[in-house]
Amino acid sequence: MDSVGTLEPFNSPTVRLERLFDAPEIQVFAKLDSLQLSGSTKERTAGSLVNAFISSGQLKAGGMVIESTSGNLGIALARQCVVRGIKFVAVVDENANKSAVDIMRAYGAHVELVLDPADGNKLAARRRKVQQLLAENPGAVTTNQYGSPHNPAAHFSSTMPEIMEALDGRLDMLFVATSTTGTILGCQNYVRDHGLATKLIAVDAMGSVLFGGESGNRRLPGLGAGIVPELSLQAEPDRVFRIPEIDMVHGCRKLARSEGILAGASTGAIVAAMGQMLPEIPSGSRIAFLVHDSGVPYLHSVYNEEWVRENLGEEPEAFGDALLEDQAAQ
Ligand SMILES: Cc1ncc(COP(=O)(O)O)c(C=O)c1O
């Protein structure tokens, strides 16, 4: 897709990785969406959601977007709105990731903090706040990333065509992390529309309810869902992996220490899933994955020994030491 100044998401580089796995018979490619200006794949989603409102005339410069979010979508919406002269209000609760909130504020977003409700249901309290703000601000819109067709449309029209173009149309498998499932659904629609044989592998978190999963405690943001998103009912991946958080940590560290790519938890989950699947991937295959976001916001969790020890109950150093030993032996 052509870039128009800093407004639109750009065609992020797709790079060949030769050090991540010891499997020279399989070609591995990474699409670096962590380089998008707001730092994640959600730059595409947010751009598409906001553009759809602008195209339909529902949103104009001076208008307002209100969303319950403290994650990558909020950061991307804050950026997409500010460059279009649109106000952005992020409704967050007390659990919101502080660095995400600070970044949204840096982009000029107004952050509306919802205090803990008496019934303990934070999600319902945030939704009530969004409805209240919509009623108080006539003409304001909310984007509904969990159900809007403009979410997968972003990946149908940019993510997947960009990957296929970078790989000369030859791709056997694409690994995508899932949350709203907008990314994988857009890729699925493209694969079907173009009659491709590319298999789509969904990488979900242990404790996520997507694809029939069982609800459980999840600490790392980026992937997984606590309630079944409307879009996910259309998503039919060829395979689903459910990755425990400690394996996300190992996956992130493996990517950082072998390829020098510092990525977030969902990408670490993808690395873990690819590692599990590797023995059954036929020789000569070309596989690709998305680096969904950067590891910088995860320096105090995924990349912090103490956090890993206290929250996941394991020593993360083991992997790093093993890698150094491997390299010394070579
Ligand atoms: C960190 C991260 N992981 C995974 C995803 C995929 O999420 P979804 O299924 O909502 O498209 C995204 C999307 O931008 C993301 O930013």
Per-residue pLDDT tens digits for 208-236: 999 999 999 999 999 999 999 999 999 99
User: pLDDT higher for 42 or 329?
Assistant: 42
Would 14-36+149-329 and 59-136 be classified into the same CATH topology? yes
CA atoms within 13 A on the CB side of 296: 10
Instruction: Compute the distance from residue 61 Cα to the ligand 1 centre, in Å.
Output: 27
314 pLDDT band, cuts 50/70/90, is confident
Question: Would you list the domain boundaries of the chain?
Answer: 14-36+149-329, 59-136
The predicted pLDDT at position 302 comes to 96
- Cα dist from 206 to 61, 203, 211, 218, 224, whole Å: 41, 10, 11, 8, 8
- Determine whether the shortest distance from the Cβ of 47 to ligand 1 is under 6 A: no
pLDDT of residue 266 exceeding 60 = yes
Q: Which fold has domain 59-136?
A: Rossmann fold (3.40.50)
Distance, in Å, from the CA atom of 22 to the CA atom of 279, rounded to the nearest integer, reads: 11
pLDDT of residue 1 exceeding 50 = no
CA 222 to centroid of chain Cα atoms: 5
**Segment 299-308 long-range contacts (CB within 8 Å, at least 24 positions apart):** 301/219, 301/220, 301/265, 302/220, 302/248, 302/249, 302/252, 302/253, 302/264, 302/265, 302/268, 303/252, 303/253, 303/256, 303/262, 308/246, 308/249
- Determine whether the shortest distance from the Cβ of 222 to ligand 1 is under 6 A: yes
Mean confidence (pLDDT) of the chain? 93
Distance, in Å, from the CA atom of 140 to the CA atom of 187, rounded to the nearest integer, reads: 30
Contact 122, 114 (CB under 8 A): yes
CA 290 to centroid of chain Cα atoms: 9
Pick the CATH number of 14-36+149-329 from 3.40.50.720, 3.40.50.1010, 3.40.50.1100, 3.50.50.60: 3.40.50.1100
Instruction: Compute the distance from residue 246 Cα to the ligand 1 centre, in Å.
Output: 19
pLDDT of residue 184 exceeding 80 = yes
The predicted pLDDT at position 122 comes to 85
- Determine whether the shortest distance from the Cβ of 48 to ligand 1 is under 6 A: no
Q: What is the pTM of this model?
A: 0.93
- Determine whether the shortest distance from the Cβ of 264 to ligand 1 is under 6 A: yes
- Determine whether the shortest distance from the Cβ of 182 to ligand 1 is under 6 A: yes
Distance, in Å, from the CA atom of 249 to the CA atom of 268, rounded to the nearest integer, reads: 6
Distance, in Å, from the CA atom of 40 to the CA atom of 325, rounded to the nearest integer, reads: 33
Distance, in Å, from the CA atom of 220 to the CA atom of 19, rounded to the nearest integer, reads: 26
Contact 175, 201 (CB under 8 A): yes
- Residue 267 CA: nearest ligand 1 atom is 3
pLDDT of residue 4 exceeding 80 = no
- Determine whether the shortest distance from the Cβ of 183 to ligand 1 is under 6 A: yes
pLDDT of residue 323 exceeding 80 = no
96 pLDDT band, cuts 50/70/90, is confident
Q: What is the mean pLDDT of residues 276-291?
A: 98
CA atoms within 13 A on the CB side of 137: 18
Contact 104, 87 (CB under 8 A): no
Strands 14-17 and 27-32, bridge-based pairing: antiparallel
Instruction: Compute the distance from residue 177 Cα to the ligand 1 centre, in Å.
Output: 6
Q: What percent of the chain has pLDDT over 90?
A: 87
The predicted pLDDT at position 116 comes to 85
